[in-house]
Structure 1
């Protein structure tokens, strides 16, 4: 144990003594940058615009992703200025001067002609904030890659509020405070190297302990409240830096009950900031938007993202042979992830569960559209893709076999986390909240449901209904009887409210559908969705969609196959356990185009599905 404790202390001492001059040089450069425009030093290279553009293109955003991004960061429509006129006083047009006396243009005409260049300058992209945990230690090259990605995000309107952590620096070490300050200044220097402006916040911005008079209104379920809190006055250094166009870089210090500044875990700083920044934004004067107050460039303090950048990457998954989870529904999967967390992962991913708890605590306070991402320092470009699309690098609802062979799935693939929704499985029509279900189906399909015959048919054919949240989404599965064959597992309806499209609900719902139908029988189908827990025999899942349905592209990626039937497309997903058995048999018995159990099934499916009556008026 002596060599283990002596090593970090000696390294810390050497680091502090050898880099002391570099620290003060960086600090001077930061303060000096407030007095004159920051320009690259002769030995520094600013960010390449080509790299920045390529990073955006690699995100490959869809039209919906682009609209969502512009809704958060795009210019806000502004009403044209109109002078206040007292009530009852008529408004007269400006007098028209004669050409012989003057050649001036009336003021009213000037106001209507607005320069597009001037408008773009006066109406900039809205800036939002992200809480970022830089969980080192990192080498200079690794830190350089991380800060380059954060500067890219700033260009896109997402300003980072960074909290620095050093896992190798033990509590109570000699020169502990100096080492943390040194680490903070390294991040500041690296950000400024890439052309950004950064400000070190070396004093405490949070206070230890629960907030006095906290009634627990922001707590949900068994979520542990933060170990720290803030008051609006504590956020002044962060507000000041953001108003000055700088990225605040915060050391993990807090005030204790004796008003002493002590080092605490960065997770406690971030969770306290998440709640405090949301509360501060809620207390702002209503009706104001960023840039309204006295001409200053306000930044929305409400965190839009939580980013955890570390050396170990995301949360390992038992369903992916230790590769990271792609998308986590914290509401329904949090306990299950703890139960299935392998003992060896506590050595390879020692902070995965603590970071998972951090994401859960922060997202409980942040807006529903917010998300968290856990990413390795090797994948900084994925931060841009996450900002623009707010989706995982690879969709978690893709077929498991496709995910297993996907080249994009690596040990460094990021994990996207959302507050999510509870998932429940209903087995009887009596358990369905029919008014809510009617509203969901009519909003999703934009048609009027013929409710009475629809539910009458479900009473005879219903297998189960998977409901996400308070009917934010639903999958209705029936058992259809085919001639000369057993019942067909049919996906009658798959619907998500428009307000929840793009927030992960679609993937959460499809994963639960997979686990209850064609994915049954595999250990990775044991997600706690309220259903069979992975136990049973997987059944082929069949459904139909109109040929002109824009969702068909999504269905093509998730189905085993499809056939066209006039104005309809028939999709199906093969039972995965049977495919696995068949794969083993084919290894010794050879291959055939159509297996015995496949003969005639497409004709049977098509004949049965086409006879299912419409549910709409």
Structure 2
């Protein structure tokens, strides 16, 4: 980023903020980047309003062109006031927008990752016209090529083709368009304040290079044309709210869906959907599909509409001609997939986060579908708890069905209208307040970080709530995720000190080479495999492996000094290795998945581990542990999750934990004496 852009962004913000000693560095990075982009939506009204005194012609669709001179001189006084009011509203909108960034951007790494994901490639013009004559000052700018060449009418005749190469597309279409697909329930029953807040959030998503596409869901209380009219009126209400806060506005689409030959809803014409998205307009799709067979419009469920839009935006509904050459077909598919990236599936529903009967705050903060989908559906459908709604199960199924069609990087978010609208509430707060934690808007936070509002492995007590039953969020973050393997599985063989036979790392069910690579990549050190196996192979309590060895944990039963290995009551449950591949650190929830499996499923009664006192990851460990202890005369900090372990002078368990953490010898192959 250039120094000029940084200076310009700093200057632009002087009117928006008071000095804030606690300003988020990540938000500063994002703000600087966004203000340096030549995007009209990030400028004041003056910068994108047509300049009436310009010498260049300006096309106006709402009336005849105005002559430059008289238009400036004859502006009525009330129009000047109106212009000032519009600029004031735009400045206020910018302030609210950057306030959302201040509260939602988590870390510097998250900010840089967001910019890397959504940064648009350099546009290259698809029309390259080399100069036909050398022009100098005073010479006529007339191109005589067409006079002596082929007929202009013949050369310029349109060729009607269904698909062209990427080089034949406009520069706009060559740029990847990032889209968030939303389903919003019961818009007709929302208050104007909530709806206005949601509209501001949608506008903010578009300004952050993620254009929303909205599908409405209304209760099925009406039928036929009455329902259709109700849906259109509701869509118009949302579009009006969007128009009031976004310079690009929204557009109602009630003609985008039709029925396929197999009676499945699909997008009728792709460009009806993509054109407004390309222009940063927010489409509001009415779930009505046209039936060619019955020659009438038929209501479909919002979930059916979301699935149809997902298939189209993911490029899965492309139907090639039977005589298509394989190479041409492959080229078309590659180009189609480059045009649009559907990155988020978002559901705004008053039922809120998916309930949980197992977690302390009774809500699922993060769902790894690959691991948890079946058990969660069974739990939801069999639950008699009043907070569980049939909508929870149907929304969870919608996420599973849509994310299966999208790249592994895509994610889902389920939240409430109140949380989705909280950008409106943020504007009433002082951005320089110290000592208060602003509630994050889950849509903005999820876009910037691809994470839930708070870590799913973070204990509720760390969230600042006196009542552990009060959740810090009403949102659930969802990923298609990765499989999780626990060896042995606790349901089959509980991880107890007396359990025999014990697993070995040389067991055929474990890929020792990949496990070794995971450890070495995560710790950035070479492991002495033979020495390590010799130390742990008869002590393994269990192994946790996430995905394709993207993360994992090795847990052992350790013997305190002066205790016999046969005294199973004194053996210490110890986290010997906790590793995540560098490429997966800070994203995808890999660390949370492994840690939750360890403390909630494998060792619910507690486990201990150690880390260097200067290890940067200690903050993450500290937030998730039940307590810590800096072991005297060593470079180790001890952590544990065991409940009630707080008095080192009276607890034998504590002394056993300290003995193990103090005396285990590292088995690295680099020969370094610094403990790790």
Is TM more than 0.5 here? Answer: yes
Query: Which residue pairs with 2:323 in the alignment?
Result: none
The reply on whether 1:269 has 2:305 as its aligned counterpart is yes
1:280 Cα deviation after fit:
5.9
Choose the corresponding residue for 2:480, options 419, 439, 461. Answer: 419
1:79 Cα deviation after fit:
9.8
Query: Which residue pairs with 2:403 in the alignment?
Result: 363
8 Å Cα contact 1:206/1:273 also seen in 2: no
Partner SS for 1:150? helix
Partner SS for 1:351? helix
8 Å Cα contact 1:205/1:235 also seen in 2: no
Partner SS for 1:318? coil
The reply on whether 1:316 has 2:355 as its aligned counterpart is yes
Query: Which residue pairs with 1:448 in the alignment?
Result: 526
Choose the corresponding residue for 2:391, options 341, 351, 355. Answer: 351
Partner SS for 1:54? helix
CA distance in 1, matches of 2:61, 2:633: 68
Query: Which residue pairs with 1:279 in the alignment?
Result: 315
Query: Which residue pairs with 1:236 in the alignment?
Result: 271
CA distance in 2, matches of 1:439, 1:63: 27
Residues 170-181 of structure 1: matches in 2 within 5 Å? 170=221, 172=223, 175-181=226-232
Query: Which residue pairs with 2:191 in the alignment?
Result: 139
Query: Which residue pairs with 2:457 in the alignment?
Result: 397
The reply on whether 1:184 has 2:235 as its aligned counterpart is yes
1:45 Cα deviation after fit:
5.0
Query: Which residue pairs with 1:503 in the alignment?
Result: 588
- Per-residue CA deviation, residues 391-435 of structure 1 (Å, 9 max, x unaligned), is 111211123554694789538521101111111112422021112
The reply on whether 1:570 has 2:648 as its aligned counterpart is no
The reply on whether 1:163 has 2:215 as its aligned counterpart is yes
- Per-residue CA deviation, residues 377-404 of structure 1 (Å, 9 max, x unaligned), is 1112221111111111121112355469
- Per-residue CA deviation, residues 171-190 of structure 1 (Å, 9 max, x unaligned), is 52661110011111111111
The reply on whether 1:614 has 2:650 as its aligned counterpart is no
1:206 Cα deviation after fit:
4.9
1:246 Cα deviation after fit:
1.2
CA distance in 2, matches of 1:441, 1:229: 48
- Per-residue CA deviation, residues 540-597 of structure 1 (Å, 9 max, x unaligned), is x222223343222211211221315667333322323xx3xx8xxxxxxxx9774444
Residues 420-499 of structure 1: matches in 2 within 5 Å? 420-427=481-488, 428=503, 429=505, 430=507, 431-485=509-563, 486-499=570-583
User: Structure 1 residues 127, 567: CA separation in 2 closer, same or farther (over 3 Å shift)?
Assistant: farther
Choose the corresponding residue for 2:117, options 68, 72, 75. Answer: 72
Partner SS for 2:554? strand
User: Structure 1 residues 161, 80: CA separation in 2 closer, same or farther (over 3 Å shift)?
Assistant: closer
Partner SS for 2:548? coil
CA distance in 2, matches of 1:484, 1:240: 74
1:126 Cα deviation after fit:
6.9
Query: Which residue pairs with 1:248 in the alignment?
Result: 283
Query: Which residue pairs with 2:99 in the alignment?
Result: 54
1:320 Cα deviation after fit:
4.0
8 Å Cα contact 1:206/1:234 also seen in 2: no
Partner SS for 2:298? strand
User: Structure 1 residues 567, 300: CA separation in 2 closer, same or farther (over 3 Å shift)?
Assistant: farther
**Which structure 1 residue ranges, 5 or more long, are not aligned?**
1-31, 86-101, 103-121, 212-227, 291-298, 521-537, 583-590
CA distance in 2, matches of 1:432, 1:500: 20
8 Å Cα contact 1:461/1:479 also seen in 2: yes
Partner SS for 1:391? coil
User: Structure 1 residues 163, 394: CA separation in 2 closer, same or farther (over 3 Å shift)?
Assistant: same
Partner SS for 1:319? coil
Query: Which residue pairs with 2:178 in the alignment?
Result: 128
8 Å Cα contact 1:320/1:404 also seen in 2: no
Residues 456-605 of structure 1: matches in 2 within 5 Å? 456-485=534-563, 486-501=570-585, 502-518=587-603, 520=604, 538-539=605-606, 541-559=607-625, 560-564=627-631, 568-576=635-643, 579=644, 594-598=649-653, 600-601=655-656, 603-605=658-660
CA distance in 2, matches of 1:132, 1:40: 33
1:244 Cα deviation after fit:
2.7
8 Å Cα contact 1:280/1:301 also seen in 2: no
The reply on whether 1:307 has 2:346 as its aligned counterpart is yes
**Count of residue correspondences:** 493
8 Å Cα contact 2:560/2:657 also seen in 1: no
TM-score w.r.t. the length of structure 1 is 0.71
- Per-residue CA deviation, residues 25-69 of structure 1 (Å, 9 max, x unaligned), is xxxxxxx997589x9998995562111111111114212211210
CA distance in 2, matches of 1:160, 1:503: 22
- Per-residue CA deviation, residues 52-91 of structure 1 (Å, 9 max, x unaligned), is 111111114212211210111224368999x999xxxxxx
CA distance in 1, matches of 2:461, 2:549: 30
1:616 Cα deviation after fit:
5.5
1:440 Cα deviation after fit:
1.8
